[in-house]
Structure 1
Amino acid sequence: MKSILRNALVFLITYLLLNSTLFAQEIQGTVADLQNRELLEYVEIININNQQKTLTNKRGEFKIQAAVNHVLVFIQAGYHPDTVLIINLKPLKRYLRSSLVNLNMVEIKGIAFDPREEYIRVYGKGKAFNMSVNKPLSFSPWKYFSYEGKSARKFKRKMKIEWIEKEIDKRFNNTVVRAICPLEKYELDAFMVRYRPTLKELERMDHDQFKLYLLDAYKQFKELPEAERRLPSLMPGNP
Protein backbone atom coordinates (compact mmCIF):
# COMPACT_ATOMS: atom_id res chain seq x y z
CA MET A 1 0.00 0.00 0.00
CA LYS A 2 2.81 2.36 0.92
CA SER A 3 4.52 1.54 -2.35
CA ILE A 4 1.38 2.49 -4.32
CA LEU A 5 1.02 5.78 -2.44
CA ARG A 6 4.72 6.56 -2.93
CA ASN A 7 4.50 5.88 -6.68
CA ALA A 8 1.33 7.98 -6.94
CA LEU A 9 3.02 10.84 -5.08
CA VAL A 10 6.09 10.64 -7.34
CA PHE A 11 3.85 10.66 -10.41
CA LEU A 12 1.88 13.66 -9.13
CA ILE A 13 5.02 15.64 -8.32
CA THR A 14 6.53 14.82 -11.72
CA TYR A 15 3.32 15.81 -13.49
CA LEU A 16 3.16 19.14 -11.66
CA LEU A 17 6.82 19.89 -12.35
CA LEU A 18 6.45 19.12 -16.04
CA ASN A 19 3.37 21.26 -16.37
CA SER A 20 4.82 24.14 -14.38
CA THR A 21 7.84 24.03 -16.69
CA LEU A 22 5.56 23.97 -19.72
CA PHE A 23 3.49 26.89 -18.51
CA ALA A 24 6.63 28.86 -17.65
CA GLN A 25 8.07 28.48 -21.13
CA GLU A 26 8.54 31.67 -23.07
CA ILE A 27 10.10 32.86 -26.27
CA GLN A 28 11.87 36.13 -26.94
CA GLY A 29 13.01 37.98 -30.01
CA THR A 30 13.06 41.21 -31.98
CA VAL A 31 10.90 42.80 -34.66
CA ALA A 32 12.22 45.14 -37.36
CA ASP A 33 11.22 46.83 -40.60
CA LEU A 34 11.84 44.53 -43.57
CA GLN A 35 13.18 47.27 -45.83
CA ASN A 36 15.45 49.37 -43.61
CA ARG A 37 15.95 46.88 -40.72
CA GLU A 38 14.94 49.56 -38.21
CA LEU A 39 13.79 48.01 -34.93
CA LEU A 40 10.09 48.58 -34.28
CA GLU A 41 8.48 49.71 -31.05
CA TYR A 42 4.86 49.01 -30.03
CA VAL A 43 4.46 45.94 -32.22
CA GLU A 44 1.66 43.85 -30.70
CA ILE A 45 2.40 40.13 -30.40
CA ILE A 46 -0.48 37.75 -29.76
CA ASN A 47 -0.19 34.05 -28.93
CA ILE A 48 -3.21 32.49 -30.62
CA ASN A 49 -3.04 29.36 -28.46
CA ASN A 50 -2.93 30.83 -24.95
CA GLN A 51 -4.20 34.38 -25.74
CA GLN A 52 -1.11 35.99 -24.20
CA LYS A 53 -0.26 39.48 -25.51
CA THR A 54 2.74 41.77 -25.32
CA LEU A 55 4.36 44.78 -27.04
CA THR A 56 7.89 45.32 -28.28
CA ASN A 57 10.00 47.87 -26.41
CA LYS A 58 12.07 50.74 -27.85
CA ARG A 59 14.72 48.25 -29.00
CA GLY A 60 12.14 46.11 -30.80
CA GLU A 61 12.49 43.35 -28.17
CA PHE A 62 9.73 41.17 -26.76
CA LYS A 63 9.10 38.20 -24.48
CA ILE A 64 5.92 36.15 -24.42
CA GLN A 65 4.75 32.88 -22.89
CA ALA A 66 4.69 30.25 -25.62
CA ALA A 67 5.50 26.66 -26.44
CA VAL A 68 6.45 24.62 -29.49
CA ASN A 69 3.62 24.48 -32.07
CA HIS A 70 2.07 27.70 -30.79
CA VAL A 71 1.23 30.41 -33.33
CA LEU A 72 2.26 34.05 -32.86
CA VAL A 73 0.76 36.99 -34.73
CA PHE A 74 2.62 40.30 -35.08
CA ILE A 75 0.53 43.45 -35.63
CA GLN A 76 1.73 47.02 -36.12
CA ALA A 77 0.01 50.03 -37.65
CA GLY A 78 1.41 50.71 -41.11
CA TYR A 79 2.61 47.12 -41.62
CA HIS A 80 1.15 43.88 -42.91
CA PRO A 81 0.41 41.38 -40.10
CA ASP A 82 2.93 38.54 -39.76
CA THR A 83 2.30 35.01 -38.48
CA VAL A 84 4.82 32.43 -37.32
CA LEU A 85 4.58 28.83 -36.10
CA ILE A 86 7.01 28.16 -33.26
CA ILE A 87 9.15 25.09 -34.02
CA ASN A 88 11.63 25.69 -31.17
CA LEU A 89 12.19 28.24 -28.41
CA LYS A 90 15.26 29.89 -29.93
CA PRO A 91 15.11 33.72 -30.14
CA LEU A 92 13.03 34.96 -33.07
CA LYS A 93 13.85 37.67 -35.58
CA ARG A 94 10.79 38.92 -37.46
CA TYR A 95 10.66 41.52 -40.22
CA LEU A 96 7.41 43.30 -41.03
CA ARG A 97 6.59 44.53 -44.52
CA SER A 98 5.26 48.08 -44.77
CA SER A 99 1.66 48.50 -45.89
CA LEU A 100 1.94 52.26 -46.33
CA VAL A 101 0.72 53.35 -49.71
CA ASN A 102 0.79 56.59 -51.60
CA LEU A 103 -2.19 58.37 -50.10
CA ASN A 104 -2.65 60.20 -53.39
CA MET A 105 -3.82 56.89 -54.82
CA VAL A 106 -6.53 56.27 -52.23
CA GLU A 107 -7.90 59.73 -51.71
CA ILE A 108 -11.46 60.10 -52.93
CA LYS A 109 -11.46 61.42 -56.47
CA GLY A 110 -14.79 62.67 -57.74
CA ILE A 111 -16.49 65.60 -59.35
CA ALA A 112 -15.55 68.73 -57.44
CA PHE A 113 -18.48 70.06 -55.46
CA ASP A 114 -18.76 73.85 -55.44
CA PRO A 115 -22.04 75.05 -53.87
CA ARG A 116 -21.53 78.50 -55.38
CA GLU A 117 -21.86 76.98 -58.84
CA GLU A 118 -24.49 74.39 -57.95
CA TYR A 119 -26.76 76.93 -56.28
CA ILE A 120 -25.78 80.19 -58.00
CA ARG A 121 -29.29 81.65 -57.85
CA VAL A 122 -29.63 81.02 -54.12
CA TYR A 123 -26.23 82.52 -53.44
CA GLY A 124 -27.22 85.60 -55.40
CA LYS A 125 -30.39 86.10 -53.35
CA GLY A 126 -28.43 85.96 -50.09
CA LYS A 127 -25.78 88.47 -51.19
CA ALA A 128 -26.93 91.75 -49.64
CA PHE A 129 -23.58 93.50 -50.05
CA ASN A 130 -21.99 93.88 -53.46
CA MET A 131 -18.32 94.78 -53.81
CA SER A 132 -17.01 95.21 -57.35
CA VAL A 133 -13.77 96.58 -58.72
CA ASN A 134 -13.91 100.32 -59.43
CA LYS A 135 -17.51 100.47 -58.16
CA PRO A 136 -18.87 101.79 -54.86
CA LEU A 137 -20.11 99.36 -52.20
CA SER A 138 -23.81 98.70 -52.65
CA PHE A 139 -26.26 97.35 -50.10
CA SER A 140 -29.65 95.74 -50.75
CA PRO A 141 -31.97 96.04 -47.71
CA TRP A 142 -34.48 93.69 -49.32
CA LYS A 143 -31.91 90.90 -49.73
CA TYR A 144 -30.67 91.44 -46.18
CA PHE A 145 -33.99 91.68 -44.29
CA SER A 146 -36.37 89.62 -46.42
CA TYR A 147 -37.31 86.06 -45.48
CA GLU A 148 -35.95 84.86 -48.81
CA GLY A 149 -32.62 86.62 -48.22
CA LYS A 150 -32.30 85.24 -44.66
CA SER A 151 -33.13 81.73 -45.88
CA ALA A 152 -30.56 82.04 -48.64
CA ARG A 153 -27.81 83.04 -46.19
CA LYS A 154 -28.76 80.18 -43.86
CA PHE A 155 -28.57 77.82 -46.81
CA LYS A 156 -25.14 79.22 -47.74
CA ARG A 157 -23.83 78.51 -44.24
CA LYS A 158 -25.14 74.95 -44.45
CA MET A 159 -23.56 74.45 -47.87
CA LYS A 160 -20.24 75.80 -46.60
CA ILE A 161 -20.25 73.22 -43.80
CA GLU A 162 -21.08 70.47 -46.29
CA TRP A 163 -18.28 71.60 -48.60
CA ILE A 164 -15.77 71.56 -45.71
CA GLU A 165 -16.82 68.03 -44.70
CA LYS A 166 -16.45 66.81 -48.29
CA GLU A 167 -12.97 68.31 -48.48
CA ILE A 168 -12.00 66.49 -45.27
CA ASP A 169 -13.45 63.23 -46.60
CA LYS A 170 -11.19 63.41 -49.63
CA ARG A 171 -8.18 62.70 -47.41
CA PHE A 172 -9.62 61.32 -44.16
CA ASN A 173 -11.81 58.38 -45.12
CA ASN A 174 -12.17 54.67 -44.34
CA THR A 175 -10.05 53.59 -47.30
CA VAL A 176 -7.11 55.79 -46.29
CA VAL A 177 -7.30 54.97 -42.58
CA ARG A 178 -7.53 51.21 -43.15
CA ALA A 179 -4.49 51.39 -45.44
CA ILE A 180 -2.49 52.71 -42.46
CA CYS A 181 -4.19 51.35 -39.34
CA PRO A 182 -5.40 47.75 -38.79
CA LEU A 183 -8.89 48.74 -37.65
CA GLU A 184 -12.23 47.13 -38.46
CA LYS A 185 -15.91 47.51 -37.64
CA TYR A 186 -16.76 49.37 -34.42
CA GLU A 187 -13.14 50.34 -33.70
CA LEU A 188 -12.81 51.92 -37.14
CA ASP A 189 -16.04 53.87 -36.62
CA ALA A 190 -14.88 55.16 -33.22
CA PHE A 191 -11.45 56.09 -34.58
CA MET A 192 -12.98 58.04 -37.48
CA VAL A 193 -15.09 60.11 -35.09
CA ARG A 194 -12.50 60.63 -32.36
CA TYR A 195 -9.57 61.62 -34.60
CA ARG A 196 -11.32 63.42 -37.47
CA PRO A 197 -9.13 66.47 -38.21
CA THR A 198 -10.36 69.91 -39.18
CA LEU A 199 -9.85 71.19 -42.70
CA LYS A 200 -7.27 73.71 -41.47
CA GLU A 201 -5.31 70.92 -39.76
CA LEU A 202 -5.34 68.85 -42.96
CA GLU A 203 -4.18 71.80 -45.05
CA ARG A 204 -1.13 72.17 -42.80
CA MET A 205 -0.11 68.52 -43.29
CA ASP A 206 1.66 67.12 -46.33
CA HIS A 207 1.32 63.41 -47.14
CA ASP A 208 4.14 62.25 -44.86
CA GLN A 209 2.89 64.39 -41.97
CA PHE A 210 -0.60 62.99 -42.48
CA LYS A 211 0.73 59.43 -42.27
CA LEU A 212 2.49 60.29 -38.99
CA TYR A 213 -0.71 61.87 -37.70
CA LEU A 214 -2.63 58.65 -38.36
CA LEU A 215 0.07 56.46 -36.79
CA ASP A 216 0.24 58.61 -33.65
CA ALA A 217 -3.54 58.66 -33.41
CA TYR A 218 -3.64 54.86 -33.75
CA LYS A 219 -1.16 54.42 -30.89
CA GLN A 220 -3.24 56.70 -28.68
CA PHE A 221 -6.41 54.87 -29.69
CA LYS A 222 -5.04 51.40 -28.80
CA GLU A 223 -4.05 52.66 -25.33
CA LEU A 224 -7.65 53.64 -24.56
CA PRO A 225 -9.85 51.34 -22.45
CA GLU A 226 -11.92 49.00 -24.58
CA ALA A 227 -15.15 50.82 -23.68
CA GLU A 228 -13.75 54.03 -25.17
CA ARG A 229 -12.76 52.29 -28.41
CA ARG A 230 -16.36 52.05 -29.55
CA LEU A 231 -19.13 54.57 -30.16
CA PRO A 232 -21.97 54.77 -27.62
CA SER A 233 -25.08 52.91 -28.71
CA LEU A 234 -28.02 54.99 -29.95
CA MET A 235 -30.45 52.29 -28.82
CA PRO A 236 -31.65 52.54 -25.18
CA GLY A 237 -30.57 49.65 -23.00
CA ASN A 238 -27.61 48.68 -25.20
CA PRO A 239 -24.02 49.13 -23.89
Structure 2
Amino acid sequence: MIFCLPLFVYAQNYMTGNVFDNDQRNLALQGVSVRNLSTKAVVVTDKDGHYAIPAKNGDLITYALMGYQTDTVYLVNLFPKNKYLRAAVNNLNTVNVTTAKVSPYLDAKDPDAKPARQVDYSKNRGGLRLNLGYGKYRRQQAKEQELEQAADINEEISKNFNREVIQKLVNYKGKDLDDYIGLYRPTVAQIKADKEFDYTYYIATTFTEWRKLPENERKLPPLPKLKGKP
Protein backbone atom coordinates (compact mmCIF):
# COMPACT_ATOMS: atom_id res chain seq x y z
CA MET A 1 0.00 0.00 0.00
CA ILE A 2 2.83 2.40 0.79
CA PHE A 3 4.41 1.85 -2.65
CA CYS A 4 1.07 2.30 -4.43
CA LEU A 5 0.22 5.53 -2.59
CA PRO A 6 2.25 7.92 -4.85
CA LEU A 7 0.61 6.45 -7.96
CA PHE A 8 -2.83 6.84 -6.38
CA VAL A 9 -2.17 10.48 -5.47
CA TYR A 10 -0.86 11.19 -8.98
CA ALA A 11 -3.99 9.68 -10.56
CA GLN A 12 -6.25 11.74 -8.34
CA ASN A 13 -4.62 15.07 -9.23
CA TYR A 14 -3.86 14.71 -12.95
CA MET A 15 -5.91 14.34 -16.11
CA THR A 16 -4.19 12.14 -18.71
CA GLY A 17 -5.07 11.05 -22.22
CA ASN A 18 -4.22 11.25 -25.92
CA VAL A 19 -5.27 13.62 -28.71
CA PHE A 20 -6.03 12.37 -32.22
CA ASP A 21 -7.26 13.68 -35.56
CA ASN A 22 -11.05 13.26 -35.78
CA ASP A 23 -10.99 11.98 -39.38
CA GLN A 24 -7.88 9.80 -39.08
CA ARG A 25 -8.48 8.27 -35.68
CA ASN A 26 -5.08 6.57 -35.56
CA LEU A 27 -3.22 9.84 -36.25
CA ALA A 28 -1.80 11.19 -32.96
CA LEU A 29 -1.49 14.98 -32.80
CA GLN A 30 1.77 16.38 -31.42
CA GLY A 31 2.07 19.94 -30.13
CA VAL A 32 -1.55 20.33 -28.99
CA SER A 33 -1.85 22.98 -26.26
CA VAL A 34 -3.82 21.47 -23.38
CA ARG A 35 -4.83 24.25 -20.98
CA ASN A 36 -6.63 24.06 -17.65
CA LEU A 37 -8.72 27.24 -17.73
CA SER A 38 -9.47 26.98 -14.02
CA THR A 39 -5.81 26.85 -12.87
CA LYS A 40 -4.08 28.34 -15.98
CA ALA A 41 -1.83 25.25 -16.22
CA VAL A 42 -0.69 24.45 -19.77
CA VAL A 43 0.99 21.35 -21.25
CA VAL A 44 1.76 20.21 -24.82
CA THR A 45 1.14 16.74 -26.25
CA ASP A 46 4.15 14.61 -27.19
CA LYS A 47 4.75 12.71 -30.45
CA ASP A 48 2.22 10.08 -29.38
CA GLY A 49 -0.41 12.74 -28.64
CA HIS A 50 -0.12 11.98 -24.92
CA TYR A 51 -0.62 14.60 -22.20
CA ALA A 52 -0.87 14.83 -18.41
CA ILE A 53 -2.14 18.02 -16.76
CA PRO A 54 -2.97 18.88 -13.13
CA ALA A 55 -6.77 18.93 -12.75
CA LYS A 56 -9.73 18.20 -10.52
CA ASN A 57 -13.47 17.67 -10.98
CA GLY A 58 -15.21 20.82 -12.18
CA ASP A 59 -12.18 22.17 -14.09
CA LEU A 60 -12.36 23.21 -17.74
CA ILE A 61 -9.78 21.69 -20.11
CA THR A 62 -9.31 23.21 -23.58
CA TYR A 63 -7.46 21.62 -26.52
CA ALA A 64 -5.99 23.88 -29.24
CA LEU A 65 -3.79 23.30 -32.28
CA MET A 66 -3.23 25.48 -35.35
CA GLY A 67 -5.41 24.18 -38.18
CA TYR A 68 -7.90 22.46 -35.82
CA GLN A 69 -11.03 23.62 -34.02
CA THR A 70 -10.45 24.42 -30.35
CA ASP A 71 -12.46 22.13 -28.06
CA THR A 72 -13.29 22.33 -24.36
CA VAL A 73 -14.19 19.64 -21.81
CA TYR A 74 -15.93 20.06 -18.44
CA LEU A 75 -14.46 17.50 -16.04
CA VAL A 76 -16.91 15.37 -14.11
CA ASN A 77 -14.22 12.80 -13.30
CA LEU A 78 -10.47 12.27 -13.76
CA PHE A 79 -10.60 9.10 -15.86
CA PRO A 80 -8.11 9.12 -18.80
CA LYS A 81 -9.61 10.80 -21.87
CA ASN A 82 -8.95 10.49 -25.59
CA LYS A 83 -9.78 13.68 -27.51
CA TYR A 84 -10.46 13.91 -31.25
CA LEU A 85 -9.99 17.35 -32.84
CA ARG A 86 -11.75 18.39 -36.04
CA ALA A 87 -9.84 20.18 -38.78
CA ALA A 88 -10.73 23.87 -39.09
CA VAL A 89 -12.44 24.77 -42.38
CA ASN A 90 -12.62 28.33 -43.65
CA ASN A 91 -15.60 28.87 -45.96
CA LEU A 92 -15.33 31.89 -48.26
CA ASN A 93 -18.46 33.60 -49.52
CA THR A 94 -18.96 33.58 -53.31
CA VAL A 95 -18.36 36.95 -54.98
CA ASN A 96 -20.17 37.65 -58.25
CA VAL A 97 -18.39 40.20 -60.48
CA THR A 98 -21.01 41.89 -62.67
CA THR A 99 -18.99 44.79 -64.11
CA ALA A 100 -15.35 45.70 -64.53
CA LYS A 101 -13.65 48.95 -65.45
CA VAL A 102 -10.09 49.06 -66.77
CA SER A 103 -8.11 52.15 -65.88
CA PRO A 104 -6.61 53.98 -68.91
CA TYR A 105 -3.50 54.67 -66.83
CA LEU A 106 -2.46 51.02 -66.35
CA ASP A 107 0.14 51.21 -69.16
CA ALA A 108 1.35 54.71 -68.31
CA LYS A 109 5.01 54.95 -67.21
CA ASP A 110 6.03 56.79 -64.07
CA PRO A 111 8.57 59.48 -65.06
CA ASP A 112 10.17 59.27 -61.59
CA ALA A 113 10.50 55.48 -61.61
CA LYS A 114 13.97 53.94 -61.16
CA PRO A 115 15.19 50.50 -62.27
CA ALA A 116 14.54 47.85 -59.65
CA ARG A 117 17.55 46.36 -57.90
CA GLN A 118 17.91 42.63 -58.34
CA VAL A 119 17.66 40.56 -55.18
CA ASP A 120 20.03 37.69 -54.52
CA TYR A 121 18.01 34.70 -53.27
CA SER A 122 21.03 32.46 -52.70
CA LYS A 123 21.36 30.45 -49.51
CA ASN A 124 23.96 32.91 -48.24
CA ARG A 125 21.35 35.67 -48.07
CA GLY A 126 19.18 35.81 -44.95
CA GLY A 127 16.28 38.09 -45.96
CA LEU A 128 13.95 35.33 -47.09
CA ARG A 129 14.52 33.32 -43.93
CA LEU A 130 13.81 36.38 -41.81
CA ASN A 131 10.49 36.92 -43.57
CA LEU A 132 9.53 33.31 -42.99
CA GLY A 133 10.46 33.64 -39.35
CA TYR A 134 8.30 36.74 -39.02
CA GLY A 135 5.38 34.92 -40.61
CA LYS A 136 5.75 32.10 -38.09
CA TYR A 137 5.86 34.68 -35.29
CA ARG A 138 2.64 36.29 -36.53
CA ARG A 139 0.90 32.91 -36.69
CA GLN A 140 2.05 32.15 -33.17
CA GLN A 141 0.74 35.53 -31.98
CA ALA A 142 -2.61 34.88 -33.67
CA LYS A 143 -2.79 31.46 -32.02
CA GLU A 144 -2.09 32.96 -28.59
CA GLN A 145 -4.74 35.64 -29.12
CA GLU A 146 -7.25 32.95 -30.13
CA LEU A 147 -6.44 30.95 -26.99
CA GLU A 148 -6.79 34.04 -24.80
CA GLN A 149 -10.16 34.85 -26.38
CA ALA A 150 -11.32 31.26 -25.87
CA ALA A 151 -10.17 31.41 -22.23
CA ASP A 152 -12.18 34.62 -21.65
CA ILE A 153 -15.29 33.11 -23.25
CA ASN A 154 -14.95 29.90 -21.24
CA GLU A 155 -14.65 31.95 -18.06
CA GLU A 156 -17.88 33.75 -19.02
CA ILE A 157 -19.58 30.38 -19.67
CA SER A 158 -18.45 29.05 -16.28
CA LYS A 159 -20.00 32.04 -14.51
CA ASN A 160 -23.35 31.69 -16.29
CA PHE A 161 -23.63 27.93 -16.83
CA ASN A 162 -22.85 26.08 -13.61
CA ARG A 163 -24.64 23.89 -11.08
CA GLU A 164 -25.63 26.76 -8.78
CA VAL A 165 -27.12 28.93 -11.55
CA ILE A 166 -28.94 26.00 -13.16
CA GLN A 167 -30.40 24.74 -9.87
CA LYS A 168 -31.83 28.17 -9.06
CA LEU A 169 -33.33 28.55 -12.52
CA VAL A 170 -34.91 25.11 -13.02
CA ASN A 171 -35.31 24.07 -9.36
CA TYR A 172 -33.67 20.70 -9.92
CA LYS A 173 -31.41 19.03 -7.35
CA GLY A 174 -30.76 15.68 -9.01
CA LYS A 175 -27.30 14.10 -8.79
CA ASP A 176 -27.33 13.58 -12.56
CA LEU A 177 -27.17 17.34 -13.18
CA ASP A 178 -23.48 16.92 -14.07
CA ASP A 179 -24.57 14.84 -17.07
CA TYR A 180 -26.73 17.72 -18.32
CA ILE A 181 -23.87 20.18 -17.79
CA GLY A 182 -21.43 17.95 -19.67
CA LEU A 183 -23.83 17.31 -22.57
CA TYR A 184 -25.20 20.83 -23.03
CA ARG A 185 -22.42 23.16 -21.94
CA PRO A 186 -22.30 25.95 -24.60
CA THR A 187 -19.25 25.91 -26.85
CA VAL A 188 -16.93 28.82 -27.59
CA ALA A 189 -18.20 28.79 -31.18
CA GLN A 190 -21.82 29.18 -30.01
CA ILE A 191 -20.97 32.19 -27.86
CA LYS A 192 -18.90 33.84 -30.61
CA ALA A 193 -21.73 33.33 -33.12
CA ASP A 194 -24.23 35.16 -30.85
CA LYS A 195 -22.76 38.28 -29.25
CA GLU A 196 -25.81 38.63 -26.96
CA PHE A 197 -26.07 35.00 -25.90
CA ASP A 198 -29.09 34.49 -23.60
CA TYR A 199 -27.99 31.95 -20.98
CA THR A 200 -31.38 31.93 -19.20
CA TYR A 201 -33.25 31.03 -22.38
CA TYR A 202 -30.58 28.50 -23.37
CA ILE A 203 -30.74 26.72 -19.99
CA ALA A 204 -34.55 26.68 -19.93
CA THR A 205 -34.87 25.18 -23.42
CA THR A 206 -31.99 22.69 -23.29
CA PHE A 207 -32.86 21.47 -19.79
CA THR A 208 -36.42 20.71 -20.93
CA GLU A 209 -34.99 18.94 -23.98
CA TRP A 210 -32.61 16.93 -21.78
CA ARG A 211 -35.39 15.86 -19.36
CA LYS A 212 -37.43 14.51 -22.29
CA LEU A 213 -34.60 12.25 -23.46
CA PRO A 214 -34.67 8.52 -22.64
CA GLU A 215 -32.74 7.79 -19.46
CA ASN A 216 -29.87 6.06 -21.30
CA GLU A 217 -29.41 9.11 -23.58
CA ARG A 218 -29.29 11.54 -20.66
CA LYS A 219 -25.94 10.16 -19.50
CA LEU A 220 -22.52 11.23 -20.69
CA PRO A 221 -21.08 8.66 -23.13
CA PRO A 222 -18.44 6.30 -21.71
CA LEU A 223 -14.83 7.31 -22.22
CA PRO A 224 -12.92 5.53 -25.02
CA LYS A 225 -10.02 3.33 -23.97
CA LEU A 226 -6.50 4.67 -24.37
CA LYS A 227 -4.21 3.06 -26.94
CA GLY A 228 -2.33 0.13 -25.46
CA LYS A 229 -4.44 0.15 -22.30
CA PRO A 230 -6.70 -2.78 -21.31
- The structure with more helix, counted as a fraction of residues: 1
Q: Which has the higher contact order (CA 8 A, sep 6+)?
A: 2
